[in-house]
């Protein structure tokens, strides 16, 4: 066997493995619903500041609401650690901004997290490390994955690599793109895997979670790359809710072309930016430029979503209903 043939064969095998790896199915995690079939959870984003900027006060109110709703888990919409993510999987910021802040009994449940753009400015892979789960077993952060609870499937999407300016105009920031590879193939494969999973889903409720907003009237506004590439897939696959952080606010915006409701919960700590865009839009149902979080309660027929401020007041409530049995 010639050396040139061996070299060519090795390249083909290596290329094949890369393709298999890049187009691997989204990891699926199971989380059982309550015995009555209901499910409830909290949604929080943009929070990790060692308790500052009212992070501790938001945590306190989350603990009270979590107990009242008997939550099953917590969803983090990213920007988990400021300003520049974690330096390693032994960074004290993990415990100082997470373990030592969210201490309420009701919050000692699984946390499902995605990465935000600030997380990518540090050691992004540190947040994916099993070492963190050894420090605090609640923590589970992956790039893109599915939480399957039968009643609902929650599709977590890694949105930071979609945003072109992080690659082309990073300014003084350095992004940790390890594990991403070239931007376009990464996004193409992710969207393909997501579309397949959404199409095959038989869950009563379908929720997609990402860090960046598709629609927002806050500081960052709409994310055009997600409008162009992600939104058509969501509209074609009967998604109920898209939940995100990134803008440090709470908001509820309706899609004008489908039943999708866009829900921003990115007010876990520093907020009050004061810059608002397009509040006269008819699709804006609610906007609050202050700290807070969101709760979700799902049954076979109903969804109830509430937005809370830092004092525990309910600022806005969204309800959605479905038939118990789909018509044939």
Binding residues for Fe cation: 46, 79, 82, 117, 211, 246, 248
Residues forming a β-bridge with 137? none
Q: Is 84 exposed, middle or buried (0-12, 13-18, 19+ CB in 10 A)?
A: middle
Which of 212, 220, 252, 316 is the catalytic position? 220
Q: In what order do the strands lie in the sheet with 110-113?
A: 139-141, 110-113, 73-76, 39-44, 292-298, 302-309, 314-321
DSSP annotation string for 157-174: E--GGG-THHHH--TT--
Collapse the DSSP code of 221 into the 3-class scheme (helix H, G, I; strand E, B; otherwise coil) and give the result.
Answer: coil
Residues facing residue 145 across a β-bridge: 27, 156
Residues 291 and 267: beta-carbon distance below 8 Å: yes
The Cα diameter of the chain in Å comes to: 74
220 classed as catalytic: yes
Residues belonging to the binding site are 46, 79, 82, 117, 211, 246, 248
Distance CA 237, CA 256 (A): 16
Cite the active site residues: 220
């Amino acid at each position: 066997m010639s050396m040139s043939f061996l070299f060519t064969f090795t390249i083909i095998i290596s290329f094949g493995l890369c393709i298999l790896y890049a187009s691997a199915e989204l990891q699926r995690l199971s989380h059982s619903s309550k015995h009555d079939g209901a499910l409830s959870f909290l949604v929080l984003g943009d929070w990790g500041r060692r308790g500052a900027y009212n992070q501790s006060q938001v945590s306190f109110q989350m603990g009270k609401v979590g107990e009242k709703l008997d939550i099953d888990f917590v969803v983090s919409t990213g920007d988990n650690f400021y300003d520049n993510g974690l330096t390693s999987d032994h960074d004290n910021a993990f415990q100082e901004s997470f373990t030592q802040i969210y201490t309420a009994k009701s919050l000692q449940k699984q946390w499902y997290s995605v990465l935000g753009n600030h997380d990518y400015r540090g050691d992004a892979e540190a947040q994916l490390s099993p070492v963190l789960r050894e420090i605090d077993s609640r923590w589970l952060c992956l790039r893109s994955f599915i939480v399957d609870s039968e009643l609902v499937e929650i599709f977590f999407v890694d949105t930071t690599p979609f945003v072109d300016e992080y690659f082309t105009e990073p300014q003084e920031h350095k992004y940790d793109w390890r594990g991403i590879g070239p931007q376009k193939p990464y996004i193409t494969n992710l969207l393909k895997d997501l579309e397949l999973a959404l199409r095959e889903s038989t869950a009563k409720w379908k929720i997609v979670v990402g860090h960046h907003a598709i629609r927002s009237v806050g500081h960052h506004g709409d994310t055009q790359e997600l409008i162009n590439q992600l939104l058509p897939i969501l509209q074609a696959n009967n998604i109920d809710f898209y939940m995100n952080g990134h803008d440090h606010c709470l908001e509820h915006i309706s899609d004008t072309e489908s039943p999708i409701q866009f829900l921003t919960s990115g007010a876990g700590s520093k907020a009050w930016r004061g810059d608002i865009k397009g509040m006269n839009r008819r699709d804006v149902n609610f906007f609050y430029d202050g700290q807070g979080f969101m709760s979700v309660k799902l049954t076979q027929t109903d969804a109830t979503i509430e937005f809370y401020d830092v004092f525990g007041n309910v600022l806005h409530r969204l309800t959605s209903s479905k038939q118990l049995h789909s018509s044939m």
